[in-house]
Every structure is written in C-alpha cells, then in structure tokens.
C-alpha cells in the first residue's frame, strides 16, 4: 500500500486531517503488526511529509500529466498503447550514436566498442510472481538472456535489481537471487552486479516485490530485426 499516495488522494478530497490520520492508521494496522500508538505516529509523519512536498513548483518538481493511467493505457501488456508508449520513450531519448537504439524496438541495444559490438538487454520480473521470488528471478534471467542470444551475441555478465516493500520478508532477496544464479550457473554467465532497495522506502507498506535482470553480451556480428529478410 502506498501510504503517501493515500494521504495525497485524501487531501484532494478535502478530508479533515484528523480523519485522514485515523483512516491511515487503521490501514497501517491491517498490514503491520505494530503498536497502535506507533501507527498513529507514523500516520502523522506521512501527513507532514505530504504537506512539506506539496505545492512545489518548477521543472524539477512537477510534470505535465497525460490524464491516462498506466493500466488504462496498457503499458506492459504488449498492446497498441504499450508500443505507443515505447515509441514516445524513444522520442524522449532522441538520436544517439547507438548501432541499434531504442527507436528500432529491437530485443536489445547495441553499441560498437573497438572491433566488437556490445549488446545490452533488460527484462522485468512478472508482477504475478511477487510471492514466488525464485521463479521471478529465474524467468527474468531466462528472458533477458534469450534477447541477447537472438541478436547473435555471447552473454558475458548479468546484473540484477530487486525492490521489496517494507514488510516483505528478507528471504525474498535470496530466493530471487537464487533463481537468477540457477540460470547463470547453467549457462556459465556470471551475475556480476546489482541493486537492492525497498519499494518507496517507508512510504510503501506490504510485501510486494518487483525487480529486473539485465545482461551484457558481445558479438562480432549482430542479427538486428531491421536486417531481417524473407528466407
């Protein structure tokens, strides 16, 4: 649960601050096994944080809303909205010196380094695997390696990123990593770096997990989609 988002939405409804605090404390106690007094204190702290960070101006603090949500647009669902969003991401990035850039909508990106090509890909874990961390890591690693292989590259190193909400069991970190290294060991591609964070820090409670796995590969020749031909 996004406690900061809950407070912001409640303030937009112009609910009294005391009512917001009471409702938030109740929701916190639904998830966290903590003293009710601490739940009240946490609720007050969240409200103060929202008040401090509301009404900021300037390009560094605000963005122009599109008026459509990720779910409504189908981002991540491989539909027309998803592909449109990816094309717009490429527009934001603009022209680069990449040999295969994001504008080509290929399986990975490619840059030339000396006499070799360096290929990078990244795949996020499936959202429905939050409670199955081993499978989440396993399938994310498998998917990102597949993308490098189909571009004709040899993978040389994996990287991982995992975010777990404040109440998630720390064991998820280890099972997620074990899922990645199962694929890594089988294919002889080492997991060489990564990042571990809590989702939203103190502002997201619950045990939701999300993450991704990336890979770096090398090749002397790249089989990009733009070069495909019949036969």
Q: Quote the pLDDT of residue 99.
A: 82
CA atoms within 13 A on the CB side of 19: 7
Mind listing the pLDDT tens digit for each residue in 77-126?
Answer: 777 788 888 888 888 888 888 888 777 777 788 999 999 999 999 999 98
Taking residues 144-162, what's their average pLDDT?
94
Cβ(110)–Cβ(118) below 8 Å: yes
Query: End-to-end CA distance of the chain, in Å?
Result: 51
Domain segments of the chain as ranges? 3-52, 68-94, 101-227
Q: What's the pLDDT band for 228 if we cut at 50, 70, 90? A: low
CATH number belonging to domain 101-227: 3.30.1330.10
Q: Which residue has the higher pLDDT, 77 or 53?
A: 53
Segment (H or E) for 192: strand 191-198
Q: What percent of the chain has pLDDT over 90?
A: 71
- For residue 190, the 8-state DSSP code is -
Pairing of strands 209-219, 116-124: antiparallel
CA atoms within 13 A on the CB side of 23: 15
In this prediction the pTM is: 0.87
Give the gyration radius of the chain's Cα atoms. Answer: 22
Q: Quote the pLDDT of residue 231.
A: 64
- Give yes or no for residue 139 having a pLDDT over 90: yes
- For residue 125, the 8-state DSSP code is P
How long, in residues, is the chain? 231
Mind listing the pLDDT tens digit for each residue in 196-206?
Answer: 999 988 899 99
Segment (H or E) for 195: strand 191-198
- Give yes or no for residue 20 having a pLDDT over 90: yes
Q: What's the pLDDT band for 213 if we cut at 50, 70, 90? A: very high
The owner of tokens 């409200």 is 47
């Amino acid at each position: 649960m996004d406690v900061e988002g809950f407070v912001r939405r409640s303030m937009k409804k112009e609910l009294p601050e005391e009512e917001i605090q009471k409702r938030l404390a109740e929701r916190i106690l639904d998830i966290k096994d903590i003293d009710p007094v601490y739940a009240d204190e946490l609720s007050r702290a969240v409200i103060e944080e929202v008040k401090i960070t509301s009404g900021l101006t300037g390009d560094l603090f605000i963005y122009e809303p599109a008026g459509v949500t990720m779910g409504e647009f189908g981002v991540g669902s491989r539909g027309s909205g998803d592909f449109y969003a990816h094309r717009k991401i490429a527009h934001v990035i603009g022209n680069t010196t990449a040999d295969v850039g994001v504008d080509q909508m290929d399986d990975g990106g490619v840059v030339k380094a000396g006499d070799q090509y360096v290929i990078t890909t990244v795949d996020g874990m499936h959202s429905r695997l939050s409670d199955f961390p081993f499978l989440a890591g396993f399938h994310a690693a498998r998917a990102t390696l597949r993308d490098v292989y189909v571009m004709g590259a040899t993978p040389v190193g994996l990287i991982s990123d995992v975010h777990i909400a404040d109440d998630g069991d720390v064991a998820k970190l280890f099972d997620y990593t074990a899922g990645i290294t199962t694929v890594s060991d089988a294919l002889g591609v080492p997991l060489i770096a990564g990042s571990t964070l809590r989702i939203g820090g103190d502002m997201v409670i619950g045990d939701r997990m999300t993450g991704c796995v990336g890979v770096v590969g090398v090749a002397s020749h790249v089989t990009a989609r733009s070069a495909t031909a019949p036969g």
